[in-house]
Amino acid sequence: MRAIIGDSCQNAFKDILEDHFREKIYNGFINDAILPVLKEVMAYAHDIVDALESSNKSPDVACGPGCSYCCHSQIHVLPIESLLILSFINECFTGKQTLLLMEKIELRLQRTRGKSIGLLFSIKDELPCIFLENGMCSIYKVRPFICRAWNSIDSSLCRKIFNSGKFDDEIESSSARNFVFESSRSLFTDIAGQLKLETAPFEMTGALFNCLKATDPLPLWLSGQDILNVNTQLGPASSQVDSLSDCRSFDLHSDRAAQTLPVSREQEYINYFYGKYKSRLAGYGYAGTHSRVHSFVFQNVYGKPIGAVALNEVGTQSRTVHIHHLKAFVLQSGNGTLMLVELCRKADCFNVRLSANPAFTPNDKCSNSDFKVLSEWYEQFGFKGDSDLCRIPRQG
């Protein structure tokens, strides 16, 4: 079964996850919010999977308590996943349990160092996951995305492959689980990359060894230091990412050069569309009085162009993103509505004001001169005013 196919669908799903991330973290300090938000996104992804499986749109998996065939693999985790596991250890493990865990980690590192994948698989019985206790995961609530993504429709096949000695056999699995959890994992890789933080996955045993040895590794990671791939002694943290309201530097899809200076929410909003939609609208790319006007050709989920819009940041005190042009390519298609819905939805996520002068027909259902009809159309999306319409972002 293949649940969802194609880059366009994956990007659309990541947009949903990104919106959820921003809604949860926007008004808080990222130092305090990043791990709770990671847990919320994990729960949100599980809700999606549960809904698909309960509606029979995705097959049930055979995985369950006591089934631990895949818990003898050498998995790699993201830095943020390591930090979440560490926080769980600090909160839920006793001092004795933590010492025993460290002994287990050191022993496993000694036994795996320098061995090939094939050799490691041949001794997999001797190398269970460091968190596997009596066939159960001791960190189940905060297990990495890859553990959530791995699944099987037939546990008997897992047992057969586990006992066969072949580490490259394929197992039929739920495409929905793979897609949802891999997309979620990719989202946090993108976010960390845009914040100039360590992003590379690291083998979990070594990752937890480095985290447990470090003193308060979360602020170190948020200050831009590597905490997993450690070649030098970690220095004191000087966080470069305290609050998203102070450092507007993420652009999850941008293919443009990384910005060295913080940018406004409004420019970050424009940058989002710069990266998502690669095609430009001819004639709209000039430098205005306040800032440059940027044009974008919108696409639907199948990658087909549906219309165009031009945006720019205006104002100094009350900053706004102005919509210069909004026009669908196909007459009476409703594509203008699709574009404005996305513009407004993202404006709510980025917490930016939008303004528009209704001089273009979004769906070509009326003449360009019918200002009243267009004003009423914009009002449906929360725009208010007499000539220059303005929309305040919705919260919650």
Instruction: Give the span between the Cα atoms of 250 and 271, in whole angstroms.
Output: 9
60-64, 106-110, 252-256, 286-290: segment of lowest average pLDDT: 252-256
Q: Please give the pLDDT value at position 252.
A: 42
Of 143 and 24, the one with more pLDDT: 143
Instruction: Give the span between the Cα atoms of 377 and 309, in whole angstroms.
Output: 16
Instruction: Report the amino acid identity of residue 50.
Output: D
Give percent of the chain above pLDDT 90.
22
Mean pLDDT to the nearest integer, 61-68 = 81
User: How many CB atoms lie under 10 A from the CB of residue 191?
Assistant: 22
Q: Please give the pLDDT value at position 276.
A: 77
Quote the tokens at residue 219: 């602020």
If you compute the radius of gyration of the chain from its CA atoms, what whole number of angstroms results? 25
Instruction: Give the span between the Cα atoms of 194 and 253, in whole angstroms.
Output: 9
Quote the tokens at residue 250: 């993420």
pLDDT bracket for residue 68 (50, 70, 90) = confident
Predicted confidence (pLDDT) per residue in 33-43, tens digit: 788 888 888 99
Instruction: Give the span between the Cα atoms of 113 and 229, in whole angstroms.
Output: 15
Instruction: Give the span between the Cα atoms of 177 and 193, in whole angstroms.
Output: 24
Whether pLDDT at 159 is above 90: no
Of 387 and 223, the one with more pLDDT: 223
Q: Please give the pLDDT value at position 66.
A: 80
Instruction: Give the span between the Cα atoms of 149 and 1, in whole angstroms.
Output: 15
Contacts by residues 325-333 (CB-CB < 8 Å, ≥ 24 positions apart): 325/281, 325/284, 325/295, 325/360, 326/356, 326/360, 326/362, 327/360, 327/361, 327/362, 327/364, 328/362, 328/363, 328/364, 329/305, 330/306, 331/363, 331/364, 332/363, 332/364, 332/365, 333/306, 333/363
Instruction: Give the span between the Cα atoms of 327 and 339, in whole angstroms.
Output: 9
The residues near 394 (Cβ < 8 Å, ≥ 6 apart) are 348, 382
Q: Please give the pLDDT value at position 271.
A: 82
pLDDT bracket for residue 246 (50, 70, 90) = very low
Burial of 182 (0-12, 13-18, 19+ CB in 10 A): middle
Give percent of the chain above pLDDT 70.
73
- 320 and 354 Cβ atoms separated by less than 8 Å: yes
Give the length of the chain. 396
Q: How far apart are the first and last CA of the chain?
A: 36
The position carrying tokens 């996104």 is 41
Domains, the chain, in order of start with CATH, read 12-223 (no CATH), 265-391 (3.40.630.30)
